[in-house]
Amino acid sequence: MVSHSGLITVMERAARKAAPRLRRDFNEVEQLQVSKKGPADFVSMADERAERTIVEELLHARPDWGVVMEEGDTIEGDPDKPRWIVDPLDGTSNFLHGIPHFAISIAVESKDAQGRPEVTQGLVYQPLTDDSFWAEKGRGAWLQDQRLRVSARRDLSEALIGTGLPHFGRGNVVQWNRIYGAVGPEVSGIRRFGAASLDLAWVAAGRMDGFWEDDLDLWDVAAGMLLVKEAGGFVTDYRGQDRMVARREYLAANGDLHSKLHKLVARALR
């Protein structure tokens, strides 16, 4: 049995406490698809209920920590302590349409020796499959008690790459088209699943060989980025630098593929 810190225990307990209600709500929203009422308000309530459950559990364990969350306002904690980063339902559109691909994402953001923020623990939990991806800085990435490693593929022609597509109100269509035009012809396939936290977890697990997307928020990617890094991969912005959060753009893969993808993307954006 692999050992982990108490923080991972707290995070997993919070996710698993919210999961049963999300599963029930997911089954209900499938029925709402054929009703006149429509599912949008229902899903919003499901999102908020899950967030409330998770945050209550996290603050019970660490009452002086702050919380950054997707649905609610930021809770300001002790500035000298870490803070939680919470996305209670990543993949809301999938949930809304009865597509069984969504996750709970929780991360811990601390400060390094120079006072810069860094993610030190992360959890991505899929309530329907019971997949619990977790990572701690310096202690590796795991799926339950199975150690994760990014794909070892080096040839782009064998690589399966994940992405997120621009849609109403989100993303840069022109930029995405340029990147796809450069990457698509070089790889074995492109996939868009609609939940960035799971996309990054799947890169960490070697299920996908790489991933790119922009216009993402911190709660979408905080846990997933740590998973990829602790599984031996690289996460940068499109320019190959460690400024992902500031630029809201993310490119993830193993070392060889990351270098090749970065060259393609950088060339496309010139």
Q: What is the C-alpha to C-alpha distance for residues 160 and 210, in angstroms, rounded to an integer?
A: 7
* CB contact set of 254 (below 8 Å; sequence gap of 6+): 150, 151, 152, 153, 154, 209, 210, 232, 233, 234
Residue-range domains of the chain with CATH:
6-147 (3.30.540.10), 156-268 (3.40.190.80)
Answer whether 141's CB lies under 8 Å from 133's CB.
Answer: yes
- Over residues 18-49, the pLDDT tens digits come to 999 999 989 887 665 544 445 555 567 888 89
What's the rounded mean pLDDT across residues 219-224?
A: 96
- Over residues 133-153, the pLDDT tens digits come to 999 999 999 999 999 999 999
More confident residue, 163 or 69: 163
Highest mean pLDDT among 110-119, 184-193, 236-245: 184-193
What's the rounded mean pLDDT across residues 92-120?
A: 92
- Mean of the per-residue pLDDT values of the chain: 91
